[in-house]
Amino acid sequence: MDNSKAMDTLKAILIDLGIPKESLHQDALLQEDLQLDSTEIVEIALGLKRRLGVSVKLEGRQDMTLDQVCHKVEAAISVHSNSNHAS
Amino acid sequence: MESISEQLPSIFNVAAYFLNNNLEQGNHQKIAFVHGDDTYTYDQLSCFVQRTARSLLSLGLERENRIAILLPDTPELVFTFWGAVWIGAVPVPINTACNLEEVQYILQDSRAKILLTTQEWQEKLAPIESQFLQHILLKDGDNTFLSLLDRQLDKPIPCAKTSKDEPAFWLYTSGSTGKPKGVIHLHQSMVVCAEHYAKATLNLQPNDITYSVAKVPFAYGLGNTLYMPMAVGATTVLSDASNAFDIISDIQRYRPTVFFGIPSIYANILAVHDISPLDASSVRLCVSAAEQLPESIWQKWRETYDREICEGIGTTEFLHIFLANRLGECKPGTSGRPVPGYDVRVVDENGLPCPPGEIGDLLVSGESLMLGYWNRLRETRQALYGNTMKTGDKYLCDADGYFKFMGRKDDLFKVNGQWVSPLEIEDILHQHPQVLEVAVVPESDRGEQLTQVVAYVSLKPGQKPSSELETSIYKFAKQRLPHFKAPKIIYFVEHLPRTSTGKIHRKLVGSSQNLAESFYISEVKNTK
């Protein structure tokens, strides 16, 4: 998957959560900039699972940018596809 | 049940009581708490508390002076809380989730002489407008609080000869007016809760490791983390977890035996089970409080992790839990039965006991009841008579003696374990250019689901309900409110029902059946 698909999906999830589209920059931090709370971050992970089939643990101790979340998505997909090839 | 208070000497310092008991019982090398990779034994804790006491004295903090602690759950918070109590000063922990206005208010209202916080908070608060504040101590930066303690000698310092009836600490709780209220607790209060709840109800043991989702500045978190483990010589985890993934990871790492959760976190952990399954094998006891736990979550938790959740309910005014379910005797969907030492009654409008199954007002009596609200005589007098408090909750007691939450007497409700006033949300939604009137109510499908914020909105003339308008209102709220307070569902109605005096009838608004019969309700519904 390319980064743009992960980013588009992430932005769609955030828009569904009521976050204004204009604040969704790739460098925007989930907690500090978008003011997401713990339940909303869980909802992002559930949305990624539902829409892309990937399991991404979005731990909250270190705030993450949208770009960093997308990297996590790509890494999770890569691990998943490698394990499928291996089996 | 014997009075705990009567068993304590009149001269009694609760910091010395808990710390010295552990040392006298030989717990010198026992781990008192874990923070990150660091562990602190009871010996080290005692040493740091006395260093802190000495430092605070040297800064001019005197008996009965307040010291505000605005920190996440960290060793510095623990040392300062007990160090202040040791010298007879009064710690005031402040929740780091408070907004700037609330923190400024608490600093001013409490007249704190010292503030211990982080550089980040200091910058956010600048300038602090409190004529009482004399020192700001920082956890981080060039001259840290711990470096101040390192310069202190390890020479014992006698504790203040406080009275058991003397204020020991304050906790701030949300008020219906929007201004937090300072709840004053005594030196004896924590012992009462530890004896009745931690020991007699939970059977907390020295080999337990406790883990609390609620942070120390909450009454629930203060007990779970700060004094209940100390009361039995157990270990606690000071965690900086901020969501379910962090908590799952912490439980894997620290292997707690007692998990003190809140309903929304139980729901979130279950929701992410396919992404990050919890290893609950270390946990012998799960507790929930802070808001009503839906029965569906209780059942799903047991199916998934083969563990009951012992739900209970308490208040900041009583310091901890006074109604609790016990392991093996849980009745899901209820707050359980009275904790020993508490007299809990459901009464009618004349103050007479309600028969089983009938809804009435919840009255609670017990020795851990607060002294009062700081500088709020009217609210104190309204809430208390003798050692009894009118909680403002509506309850019923069933034939088996289990108490079930049935709602609030006022308009307040809880979401994510935090009090929400509908007025605050309505004030924001009123500012939306197309909104004419609004009423905000909680909905939980009669306790089957977690409470959600629901807004009933009527529009200005010429405006029509649409999903675009609904999204616009939803975004408007999220940009101006903490996200958990933003409405999850928005209903458009032609008119809102009013009382005979012209006020919006919120109780009738909450009854959608009544609304549907009397008013047009738009089909637009936010399913996000």
- Tens of pLDDT, residues B160-193: 999 999 999 999 997 555 689 999 999 999 999 9
User: What's the average model confidence in pLDDT over B462-477?
Assistant: 90
Which pLDDT belongs to residue B501?
65
Same domain as B353, residue B237 = yes
Q: What percent of chain B has pLDDT over 70?
A: 95
DSSP annotation of B401 reads: S
Q: How far apart are CA B187 and CA B208, in angstroms?
A: 25
Same domain as B430, residue B387 = no
Q: What is the pLDDT of residues A68-85, one digit of tens each?
A: 999 999 999 887 777 666
In this complex, do A59 and B245 lie within 8 Å of one another by their Cβ atoms?
A: yes
User: Cβ(B375)–Cβ(B182) under 8 Å?
Assistant: yes
Mean pLDDT, all residues of chain B: 92
In this complex, do A31 and B242 lie within 8 Å of one another by their Cβ atoms?
A: yes
Which pLDDT belongs to residue B524?
43
Q: What is the pLDDT of residues B297-330, one digit of tens each?
A: 999 999 999 999 999 999 999 999 999 999 999 9
Residue-wise over B236-274: b if at least 16 C-beta within 10 A, else e?
bbbbebbbbbbbbbbbeebebbbbbbbbbbbbbbbbbee
The pLDDT of residue B520 is above 70? no
**Is residue B413 in a domain?**
no
The pLDDT of residue B109 is above 80? yes
Same domain as B479, residue B357 = no
What would the two tokens of residue B387 be?
A: 């050692």
Same domain as B186, residue B329 = yes
User: What's the average model confidence in pLDDT over B384-404?
Assistant: 94
In this complex, do A46 and B275 lie within 8 Å of one another by their Cβ atoms?
A: yes
The pLDDT of residue B525 is above 70? no
Same domain as B444, residue B348 = no
- The answer to whether B242 faces chain A, any CB pair under 8 Å, is yes
Q: How confident is the model at residue B513 (pLDDT cuts 50, 70, 90)?
A: very low
Which pLDDT belongs to residue B523?
41
Which pLDDT belongs to residue B110?
98
**Is residue B402 in a domain?**
no
Q: What is the pLDDT of residues B32-70, one digit of tens each?
A: 999 999 999 999 999 999 999 999 999 999 999 999 999
Of the candidates B191, B225, B193, B222, the residue with the CA atom closest to the CA atom of residue B208: B225
The pLDDT of residue B86 is above 80? yes
Same domain as B329, residue B218 = yes
Chain A residues inside the 8 Å CB shell of B243: 38-39, 41-42, 58-60
Q: What is the pLDDT of residues B185-220, one digit of tens each?
A: 999 999 999 999 999 999 999 999 999 999 999 999
**Is residue B330 in a domain?**
yes
Which pLDDT belongs to residue B95?
94
Q: How confident is the model at residue B82 (pLDDT cuts 50, 70, 90)?
A: very high
Give me the CATH number covering residue B467. Answer: 3.30.300.30
User: Cβ(B476)–Cβ(B435) under 8 Å?
Assistant: no
Task: Check residues B411 and B301 and name the one with the higher pLDDT.
Answer: B301
Chain A residues inside the 8 Å CB shell of B449: none
Residue A85 Cα, gap to closest chain B Cα (Å): 21
Lowest-confidence segment of B116-125, B484-493, B507-516 by average pLDDT = B507-516
Q: How confident is the model at residue B500 (pLDDT cuts 50, 70, 90)?
A: low
Chain A residues inside the 8 Å CB shell of B274: 49, 55
Same domain as B439, residue B385 = no
The pLDDT of residue B128 is above 90? no
Kindly tell me the burial class for residue B455, based on how many C-beta atoms sit within 10 Å of its own C-beta (0-12, 13-18, 19 or more): buried
**Is residue B523 in a domain?**
no
Q: How far apart are CA B416 and CA B240, in angstroms?
A: 17
Residue-wise over B318-344: b if at least 16 C-beta within 10 A, else e?
bbbbbbbbebeebbbbbbbbbbbbbeb
Which pLDDT belongs to residue B1?
59
Place of tokens 């729901």: B267
Of the candidates B482, B105, B277, the residue with the CA atom closest to the CA atom of residue A31: B482
Same domain as B388, residue B444 = no
Residue B244 Cα, gap to closest chain A Cα (Å): 7
Size of interface A-B (CB pairs under 8 A): 75
Same domain as B376, residue B474 = no
By residue range, what is the domain housing residue B185? 4-397
Best probe of the A interface among B245, B262, B471, by most A CBs < 10 A, is B245
Give me the CATH number covering residue B376. Answer: 3.40.50.12780
Which pLDDT belongs to residue B67?
98
The pLDDT of residue B526 is above 50? no
Query: For chain A, which domains are there?
Result: 3-86 (1.10.1200.10)
Same domain as B10, residue B131 = yes
Same domain as B199, residue B130 = yes
The pLDDT of residue B518 is above 50? no
Which pLDDT belongs to residue B177?
53
Of the candidates A73, A40, A59, A30, the residue with the CA atom closest to the CA atom of residue B248: A59
- The answer to whether A79 faces chain B, any CB pair under 8 Å, is no
Same domain as B370, residue B493 = no
Domain count, chain B: 2
**Is residue B494 in a domain?**
yes
Which pLDDT belongs to residue B141?
92
Q: What is the pLDDT of residues A10-65, one digit of tens each?
A: 999 999 998 989 999 999 999 999 999 999 999 999 999 999 999 999 998 989 99
In this complex, do A36 and B484 lie within 8 Å of one another by their Cβ atoms?
A: no
**Is residue B409 in a domain?**
no
Which pLDDT belongs to residue B129?
81
Handedness of CA B256, B258, B262, B264 (dihedral sign): positive
**Is residue B67 in a domain?**
yes
Residue A63 Cα, gap to closest chain B Cα (Å): 10
Which pLDDT belongs to residue B321?
98
- The answer to whether B97 faces chain A, any CB pair under 8 Å, is no
Q: How far apart are CA B233 and CA B236, in angstroms?
A: 10
**Is residue B213 in a domain?**
yes
